[in-house]
Amino acid sequence: MRIIAKGLTGILFVFFALNDERPKRGLACLIEPLKYDADKNNALVFDLGEWIYRYYIDPIIYDTSYNPVDTVTWAIVLGLSILVLVKLFRHFDLVFDERLTQCTIPFILAGASLRVVEDANLVSPPASYLLITPLIFFLVFLLTSALLLLTRKILGPEFYRGYAAVGMLWTAINLIVLSTVGFQHLWVIAAVFALGTAITGGLLVIRRGLPALGFLDNKLNLMIIYAHMLDAGSTYIGVDWFDYYEKHVVPTFLIDLAGTAVVMFPLKLIILLPVLSMIDRSIEDRTLRNITKLALITLGLAPAVRNTLRLAFGV
């Protein structure tokens, strides 16, 4: 289990690095809070309070980019959350199968669209702080978990449709709220879907001649690929066609090198394909495997939906 936990943390950290907005300052983040204290003969002291505010609280209050400190923290928290979820599902005698994974997708859409509500300044502080990453992840996680248990208790074993319907209703409410802003570039939605579908479809054609890509026959694996191709498509349109810019170190370097954000497509595939193959070969527990895949779907679909809606609404 420890090996699995370390592996999950490493996988999730890679995807946080690819999908989140953050400046990378290396060891500087650990050195900056060090100060000389005049009351202690100019001894070098570590200001823990300033360190916490700078790397955890300020990014939430001011909705700024991520930093290396909270990036590692939230990646570890997410990895541990997956392991906790596995234990909770066993406690409540639930099986996290493919059907439940697919029925949770509407809640990813709900969380991503709720984030755009904050981007559009439709919610004021301090309530808006709950809609900023990473707090919104915890908020959506808790609400989704509560609604899952509630619908299962009310509807019994066949709760799947009711559970998914609640997520779709939540998403619809968010979109209704966002509609008050008004669309600016509605065509972006179709363009992102077209790009993501084309790249994923092309990969399936290649898979026919490559037995090594047989893991793509799994529905969840294909959903992960599709979600991240949508994310790459939204990044490409935002960077190359609009006045948006990439803040991630590796993607920024490659985009600058290539002169286009199209490089996001191969970059994601280079990471995703071996990771998916490894997950299918190394994680035998079905619940742990499916929850891990749901996390990977979330890390692709959530930013894809947020980016696309931001571009469409011009916020």
**What percentage of the chain reaches a pLDDT higher than 70?**
74
**Does some domain include residue 48?**
no
pLDDT at residue 40, rounded to an integer = 52
**Does some domain include residue 238?**
yes
**Does some domain include residue 298?**
yes
Average pLDDT for residues 247-254, to the nearest whole number?
A: 66
pTM for the model stands at 0.77
Could you report the per-residue pLDDT of 182-213, keeping only the tens digit for each? 999 999 999 999 999 999 999 999 998 888 89
pLDDT band at 117 (very low <50, low <70, confident <90, very high): very high
- Average pLDDT of the chain is 80
**Does some domain include residue 255?**
yes
pLDDT at residue 258, rounded to an integer = 81
Reading phi first (left if > 0) and then psi (alpha if -120 to 50, else beta), residue 133 is in beta
Could you report the per-residue pLDDT of 3-41, keeping only the tens digit for each? 444 454 444 444 444 444 433 344 444 445 555 454 555
**Does some domain include residue 157?**
yes
CA dist., res. 78 & res. 17, Å (int): 14
Closest CA to 21 of 132, 140, 171, 142: 132
**Does some domain include residue 49?**
no
Give residue 129's domain range.
Answer: 2-23+65-313
pLDDT at residue 304, rounded to an integer = 94
CA dist., res. 171 & res. 177, Å (int): 10
**Does some domain include residue 87?**
yes
Statement: residue 216 has pLDDT above 70: yes
Statement: residue 173 has pLDDT above 60: yes
Average pLDDT for residues 39-58, to the nearest whole number?
A: 58
**Does some domain include residue 293?**
yes
| Better pLDDT: 239 or 2 | 239
Statement: residue 244 has pLDDT above 50: yes
Could you give the number of structural domains in the chain?
1
Average pLDDT for residues 278-306, to the nearest whole number?
A: 91
pLDDT band at 310 (very low <50, low <70, confident <90, very high): very high
